[in-house]
Structure 1
């Protein structure tokens, strides 16, 4: 058994998440769901990370692997296996519990902040944390989920549900990913390397806490 990282865009990888796992001696396997790589069975999973992508979390016709991902996430949660969902991964985490995922009021793109709820303050507060926004969809929270952070535009930015942590935003990005963001984000929205250094500093706290709790 090992950790698995599911990615949806060839240019994107686990970035700081992978760095932290390597630092902790956590072995992990990266699979590209959009390229047709098979997903692992839940009984082969120690922990699961689901990264972002432009797909619709319920877009099974265009992207048949979405159903398999939702089912894997749901089974992992049912077995109390740690699941970290980032951006699309957070939407899939909610969708795995039957929740709606739908277009938000406006696109939220580029450098930004999220603000902790009272429940999220131990990890996401007490101050605002720097993040990268890169999404147009939002979602309903599963029954029993705990909202951890919000932004001015999107209420559901971070949540805990059982063994799962959903992050609508990106904190795994570091200055090393700045060229990729320049190439793939809409013109004028990619954060600078200086901003990404701050995002990674705040992100490390969040990600370290997740892996502390997962161990």
Structure 2
């Protein structure tokens, strides 16, 4: 018998979503179930995600931007990780797969399937659950200070994650009704929880190799936007060991909370 987070209505009212009561250990997986990793461009940095999952739980990548089909959110899906991308969460006309993803994330949370949304993934998750993704008030890039709220310090995944983490975005989100704000930076909200769903605006999964790929592809635009790409890459290299350990800890907690 599958053990999942308790489901709850997506219109939680003033009481908010049902409290988390645990969902078992996804890393102890003797069933034919995968973690679904949703990506949005070919250059998505999945190295640390794949390494963290490889020895713990089966996973497979779904490239919705290539027309690949998301599996039914039910038996066979142990959890979902929705990663970043260069588009905005509301760009559904040029990227119609985004509407499909929002519906999929909403259905998955409704059915108690754990979801982790990172950067664009967190914005899609916020919109799927009744929040709003909007243009922000400036690009936030490089290693920034993440400050946990009181709820964040008690969160089973993010507790202890105060400190510097890599960020690269200009859009932001308003948390869904009934969600709990877990973290902020000086400029933007950075993490929220809605039952079994965790949205993280910053990039705990970025590796120096992945950042170099971003610079190779978008370096001219980044420089024109005022980004010191060499400093950003140097900081990423300086933080690599700590960031890798932080991300692995985040994944272990997400899989076993």
- 1:16-51 CA-to-partner distances (Å, cap 9, x unmatched) read 222111121x11110111122112211242211100
For 1:73, the equivalent position in structure 2 comes to 105
Q: Contact 1:7 / 1:13 at 8 angstroms: preserved in 2?
A: no
What RMSD over aligned residues (CA atoms) do the two structures have, in Å?
Answer: 1.8
Divergent runs of 4+, >6 A: none
Structure number, greater radius of gyration: 2
Q: 2:202 aligns with which of 165, 169, 174?
A: 169
TM-score normalised according to structure 2 size: 0.76
Distance 1:64 1:178, change over 3 A: closer
For 1:195, the equivalent position in structure 2 comes to 239
Q: Give the deviation of 1:178 after TM superposition.
A: 4.2
* Secondary structure in structure 2 of the residue aligned to 1:120: helix
CA distance in 1, matches of 2:110, 2:130: 14
**Which protein has greater RCO, CA pairs closer than 8 Å, 6+ apart?**
2
Any residues of structure 2 matched to 1:80-119 within 5 Å, and which?
80-119=112-151
Q: Contact 1:174 / 1:197 at 8 angstroms: preserved in 2?
A: no
For 1:40, the equivalent position in structure 2 comes to 71
Q: Give the deviation of 1:211 after TM superposition.
A: 1.3
TM-score normalised according to structure 1 size: 0.90
* Secondary structure in structure 1 of the residue aligned to 2:239: helix
CA distance in 1, matches of 2:242, 2:215: 17
For 2:61, the equivalent position in structure 1 comes to 30
Aligned length: 211
CA distance in 2, matches of 1:80, 1:149: 23
1:208 matched to 2:208? no
* Secondary structure in structure 1 of the residue aligned to 2:41: coil
Extract unaligned runs of 5+ from structure 1. none
Extract unaligned runs of 5+ from structure 2. 1-32
Q: Give the deviation of 1:127 after TM superposition.
A: 6.7
For 2:216, the equivalent position in structure 1 comes to 183
For 1:15, the equivalent position in structure 2 comes to 47
Q: Give the deviation of 1:99 after TM superposition.
A: 1.8
Between 175-184 and 110-119, report the one with greater CA deviation: 175-184
For 1:2, the equivalent position in structure 2 comes to 34
